[in-house]
């Protein structure tokens, strides 16, 4: 089955249009000053208007305060809020109650114990996102183009709905899907020519690789 596909860190009309033309179910905008993909909420809102209703609009924040969230929500009008920082379960409950928006909570994974942090968010987060731990010295909690050991996700209860992210690209996405069976995937730097610069050709190649993987899946699982 074709997974949900989120293209994250979009900053141009061309990239937003191409992502959705090629079949992105989600488009993500980064609101984090240190990121090369950081975008002002009013500009992101205009880009989102191009595809609103055809793809889910995702606002990615990192330990954002209420004022910043209010501004992002007012100007972007996201369908989903992605939290990529150290936001507590209590904070997530409050944000959900106040905004009425679905929440995707990101976790950085390196070893089995990292998945234990998910437990308190079950029943609060509408979806999870599993990303790799940032490399030492990185200013970014995500968007580092680093993978983690996908086999760790095998221990998760099947009811835990998540997007897989971290270093995905055209060369590893088929293996990632085979290994995890993820119902959603999220890519940023794997479809860029330089940090923050989306590459339309790489994006095309990524979608083609997902399509190839999705077509092969039933054949390899078939008993015949
Ligand atoms: O991309 C960023 O700059 C970023 C900044 C702050 C928080 C999250 C960020 N990106 C998230 O990182 C993953 C995937 O990154 P990659 O494919 O390994 O480059 C994705 O969830 C983005 O939302």
Name the residue ranges covered by the structural domains of the chain. Answer: 4-215
- For 4-215, give the CATH class: alpha beta
State the DSSP H helix or E strand holding residue 94, giving kind and residue range, or none if neither. helix 89-99
What residues pair up with 187 in beta bridges, in sequence order?
Answer: 7
Residue nearest to atom 23 of ligand 1 (CA): 8
Cβ neighbours of 110 (radius 10 Å): 13
Q: Is residue 184 lining ligand 1, measured as CB closer than 6 Å?
A: no
**C-alpha–C-alpha distance, residues 57 and 186, integer Å:** 13
pTM reported for the whole predicted model: 0.94
Q: How far apart are the CA of 135 and the centre of ligand 1, in A?
A: 13
Q: Is residue 60 lining ligand 1, measured as CB closer than 6 Å?
A: yes
pLDDT at residue 143 in the model? 87
Instruction: Say if residues 136 and 148 touch (Cβ distance below 8 Å).
Output: no
Beta-carbon contacts of residue 61 (< 8 Å; ≥ 6 apart): 31, 32, 68, 69, 72, 81, 82, 83, 84, 85
List per-residue pLDDT tens for the chain, 224 residues long: 899 999 999 999 999 999 999 999 999 999 999 999 999 999 999 999 999 999 999 999 999 999 999 999 999 999 999 999 999 999 999 999 999 999 999 999 999 999 999 999 999 999 999 999 999 899 899 889 999 999 999 889 889 999 999 999 999 999 999 999 999 999 999 999 999 999 999 999 999 999 999 765 544 433 33
């Amino acid at each position: 089955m074709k997974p949900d596909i989120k293209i994250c860190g979009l900053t141009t009309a061309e990239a937003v249009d191409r992502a959705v033309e090629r079949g992105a179910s989600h488009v993500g905008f980064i609101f984090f000053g240190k990121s090369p993909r950081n975008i002002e909420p009013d500009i992101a809102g205009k880009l989102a208007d191009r595809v609103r209703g055809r793809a889910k609009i995702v606002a990615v924040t990192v330990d954002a305060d209420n004022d910043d969230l209010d501004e992002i929500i007012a100007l972007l009008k996201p369908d989903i809020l992605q939290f990529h920082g150290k936001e507590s379960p209590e904070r997530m409950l409050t944000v959900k109650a106040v905004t009425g928006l679905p929440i995707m909570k990101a976790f950085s994974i390196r070893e089995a114990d990292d998945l234990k942090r998910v437990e308190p968010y079950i029943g609060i987060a509408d979806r999870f996102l599993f990303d790799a731990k940032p490399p030492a010295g990185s200013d970014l909690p995500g968007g580092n183009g680093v993978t983690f050991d996908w086999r760790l996700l095998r221990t998760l209860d099947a009811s835990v709905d998540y997007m897989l992210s971290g270093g995905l690209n055209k060369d590893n996405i088929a293996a990632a899907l085979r290994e995890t069976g993820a119902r959603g995937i999220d890519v940023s730097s794997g479809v860029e020519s330089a940090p923050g610069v989306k590459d339309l050709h790489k994006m095309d190649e990524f979608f083609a690789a997902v399509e190839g993987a999705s077509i092969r899946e039933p054949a390899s699982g078939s008993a015949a």
